[in-house]
Amino acid sequence: MRPHRHPPIVNAQRRRWLGAGAAGLLVTAWPAATLATPAARVLVEVWKDPSCGCCGDWILHLQANGLAVKVNDTGNTAMRRRLGIDLKYGSCHTALVGGYAIEGHVPAREIHRLLKERPAALGLAVPGMPVGSPGMDGDAYGGRKDPYDVLLLARDGGARVFQAYR
């Protein structure tokens, strides 16, 4: 008995359907495979005192907002000086991200904005340790929020308000 053969038109149609089905499976599987791979997170390298609690809280804030953090518990004075940040803009920790200096309790939102806009600048600073800024907003402060400015530091030592928090 001879095996049954489909006419050439049926075979061609069948190949198209099978090819389309395989392509459909590939297209369906492709986004799932892409979504399973985590996006690379921006790295923020931080210099702080090993016993500083508010620095640790600021680091948790950065991580909660999608930033990866590498911590150097060596203090920040030498790094602040090395990055060219004037002492008048100083705080308890200094960081470096995407070629920009970050001094003090800068909100992650402003770091993301800085990296998106890429202004010609040294970086950002929140001088001092204002209550209500990220890391200075724990239960110990009773919900108090003092106004503060995030400053965009110019390479010539000047600064302007990048974002005001009121």
Residue-wise pLDDT for 25-48, tens only, equals 333 333 333 344 456 789 999 999
Q: Kindly state whether residues 31 and 91 are assigned to the same domain.
A: no
Exposure string over 129-161, b if 16+ CB within 10 A, otherwise e: bbbebbbbbeeeeeeeeeebbbbbbeeeeebee
Residues 135 and 158 in one domain: yes
Domain that holds residue 2: 1-37
Could you report the per-residue pLDDT of 52-90, keeping only the tens digit for each?
Answer: 999 999 999 999 999 999 999 999 999 999 999 999 999
Residues 77, 128, single domain; the answer is yes
Q: Tell me how many domains the chain contains.
A: 2
**Do both 8 and 90 map to the same domain?**
no
**Judgement on whether residues 12 and 52 belong to the same structural domain of the protein:** no
Same domain membership, residue 11 and residue 79: no
Prediction pTM value:
0.76
> Is the domain of 133 the same as that of 100?
yes
